[in-house]
Structure 1
Amino acid sequence: MRKTPIQIPTLSAEDFAKILPPSMNYPSLTELFGHYSPIYLKHIASKMNSYTWFRFVETESKNLIFKRMATRILYRMMDRQPSDSFCAGNENGYVLGERAEGLSSRGVNYKAVNEDGIGVFERENELLLVGCDGVGDCLVGEVASYVILSQFEKHPEKSIQEVFADSVEVLLDLGDKLEGEVPEFVTFPNEISQAAVTAVSIKNNQCEIGQVGDVLLYHIRDEDLRLLDQNRQWLDLDQLKKQFSDEQYLAQRHIISNAIGRNYDPYWMPTFLTLKKGDALILASDGLETLHPCDIKDVVDSTNDDRALLNALYNRCIEANLKWNTTGSPLYTKPDNISILFYRHG
């Protein structure tokens, strides 16, 4: 198992100097807005004058400082340790195993922070794949992704349900400790951190799926692609195409009814799947839904190499999100963090 870096389009200081007038170009804008595309940066800046831009930068800077301070305190409380088996806690990169591979990236035009997380845990009698998506409305969504993945790594003897429940307790305890160290955090109206998660346990040909929230699982068999939705229903390509033509669905698709956190509902049921040789699984955060299901199917059909397939999906997401908010950009395009795991059953 190993981790390697991933390439993410990032605006440089020179890019900002070319795009912004001198009166709007401040030091370290790359840290705040380096994840923007040139087109989107121009779009935002064109709607402001020097004063309103200054106030915008000031607000974003305060938010970033506030969140980074909270994150550092939380990780210090957890005694955070690096791992080669998962990528989380505002990490960007590949996780490369013998049997499965994945990547996680902050993406473009969304946030400077990657709130997703992925894990590949290769055990003697089990392959466990885990995808997390930190809830963006929380104080620091990426912490929940880290907690969940670290709990899976620490406790291989526990079931998916047990690890989910343990992760909730860890997050609640961290929230209490944070408020004890910095009492003002009690004024924050939302949770400190929570995350959607899907965990896939593969033993021989049997697959157990634990899903809380909207982390996606695609199953590919022969020429067919289907998606497990939040209601534990398998949707085929025709059903997915119908959803992507429904504006109401697109407006509400990322509203989740359950997540690992204070209001976690433990009374969910696992889904079971029997795999056949040649079957493939794509486990991904909802950032992959910036692509139409037909685009995903096209990549799967045209790519035989697993790493090339991962990269093709990622690059298409980046390309789509770079064009977001421009003429001709599809309605379903939605910038987000992007995390993808791929497994082919042998």
Structure 2
Amino acid sequence: MPNVSGKQSVGERDNQEDALRFVLQSEQDPNSDILMLLADGMGGHVGGEIASNLALQSFENHFVAVSRQSVPADRLAEALDVSNRQIERRIAQEPELRGMGCTLIGALKRGDRLQWISVGDSLLYLFRRGSLRRLNADHSLYGELLELVAAGKMTQAEADAHPRRNALRSALIGAPLSLTDLNSVALERGDLVILASDGIETLSPARITEILRQEGQADPGRISSALIREVEAQKRPHQDNTTVIVYRHDRTGESGIYGDSKWRMSLADGRGVWMSLPVLGALGAMIVLLLGMVIYLVGFGGEDAPVAARPAAGEAGALKPIGGDVKSADGAAKDGEKPVIPAPDSEAPANPDAGPAEGDKILPDGGAAPDPKGGGAIIAPEAPAPVIPPLPGTDGG
């Protein structure tokens, strides 16, 4: 039975601007490590589709076939940077594509950990023992508004009604990234990992949780189909594309070494040596044998050198469940493009409500072009935006 499955729905849109990919480290073992990728495109009927597919193709190719980074977090970050630069190059080659971009989640299951990097507002969920938790940071303005709600500086109703709550603070548009989320969490047997584009926000977290509780013991294909069916059953008049990837963590243990491995990362990743126990045992036996030969041939004097203890691997603590509706006060899916909030030095108005008019797309050089979907502004960031602190129970990449 496969441990991962992906499903899509075009919704009420003319074309599919979401993209998904997943790559097993080894085709011989369905429980081998796996790279899961999801992107949500923006930039019109053509640009969004091009951006999302180009980003995932570039990410996968670099991660699997090009990168020599041995640390998973570094490899993910490098692949994300390559994806962003590929979008920049494509726009330079075809100026009519200016304004296209996408969100992206790259999630690597390795052994009993999930390492991810994400940009934008696509969602990464963990479903464990009946509770649903969002793992990655929300790079929309709504994510920042919720921080104000938590601090008592804004009500939930005000956050839900904010006219620019769907604006993105970071996305792959070929410009320097103002925000990325790079993090990891320990996995337990039976965990479900869900990657989803924001079309799934037609469903409240409570409804998603209910579906996962009902279908939680089914295979990932059935679970992903159930989520897509429920989104379509809502019949929202402007339903966005929806994409879902579901992974079930059924087997625990260290990462394996395979003859057909799509990628190899065998050096320290900050938590210990990333090798299988049999390989480590064989290496240890070889070292002991060589040392014995040296002692026999040349002798060995003096005291034994002390062996430094390896720090214990960090473990994620408890994560807070999420609940309630998100982003839209009426629960409807967002309509139109995802605007990107201007950086402080881009001469944006101080009042967030006084942003560009609906239908405008502010490009990196300040020029304006009509937005085919009429959903707000896309503004290339030129300076870092506020950083969202990681959720409790996660640890930096």
Query: Which TM class, normalised by the smaller chain length?
Result: 0.5 to 0.7
Cα distance, 1:174–1:342 mapped onto 2, change above 3 Å = same
Give the AA of the match of 1:335.
Q
Q: For the Cα contact (< 8 Å) 1:138–1:194, is it kept in 2?
A: no
The aligned counterpart of 2:18 is: 116
Deviations 1:91-129 (A, max 9, x none): xxxxxx933110122112xx2011100111111353011
Report deviation, 1:264.
Answer: 3.6
The aligned counterpart of 1:312 is: 226
Q: Relative to total residues, which structure has the larger helix share, 1 or 2?
A: 1
Deviations 1:122-152 (A, max 9, x none): 1135301111000245861111111122123
Q: For the Cα contact (< 8 Å) 2:55–2:86, is it kept in 1?
A: no
Deviations 1:264-307 (A, max 9, x none): 41663411100010111110000000101111011000012122
Secondary structure of 1:270's aligned partner: strand
Q: RMSD over aligned Cα, in angstroms? A: 2.8
What are the ranges of 5 or more consecutive residues in structure 2 without an aligned counterpart?
27-31, 68-74, 251-397
Indicate whether 1:100 and 2:13 are aligned. Answer: no
Give the AA of the match of 1:316.
E
**Bigger-Rg structure (1/2):** 2
Equivalent-residue separation in structure 2 for 1:253 and 1:275 (angstroms):
32
The aligned counterpart of 1:249 is: 160
Moved more, 262-271 or 196-205: 262-271
Equivalent-residue separation in structure 2 for 1:266 and 1:163 (angstroms):
16
What are the ranges of 5 or more consecutive residues in structure 1 without an aligned counterpart?
1-96, 180-184, 326-333
Q: How does 1:1-346 map to 2 (within 5 A)?
A: 98-108=2-12, 111-124=13-26, 126-136=33-43, 140-155=47-62, 156-157=64-65, 158=67, 159-179=75-95, 185=96, 190-191=98-99, 193-230=100-137, 246=157, 248-249=159-160, 252-265=164-177, 268-303=180-215, 304-305=217-218, 306-320=220-234, 322=235, 324=236, 335-346=239-250
Give the AA of the match of 1:315.
R
Equivalent-residue separation in structure 1 for 2:190 and 2:200 (angstroms):
22
Equivalent-residue separation in structure 2 for 1:229 and 1:307 (angstroms):
23
Moved more, 269-278 or 118-127: 118-127
Secondary structure of 2:94's aligned partner: helix
Q: TM-score, normalised by structure 1?
A: 0.58
Report deviation, 1:219.
Answer: 0.5
Deviations 1:9-55 (A, max 9, x none): xxxxxxxxxxxxxxxxxxxxxxxxxxxxxxxxxxxxxxxxxxxxxxx
Q: For the Cα contact (< 8 Å) 1:214–1:256, is it kept in 2?
A: yes
Q: Percent identity?
A: 24
Secondary structure of 2:189's aligned partner: coil
Give the AA of the match of 1:221.
R
Count, aligned residues: 222
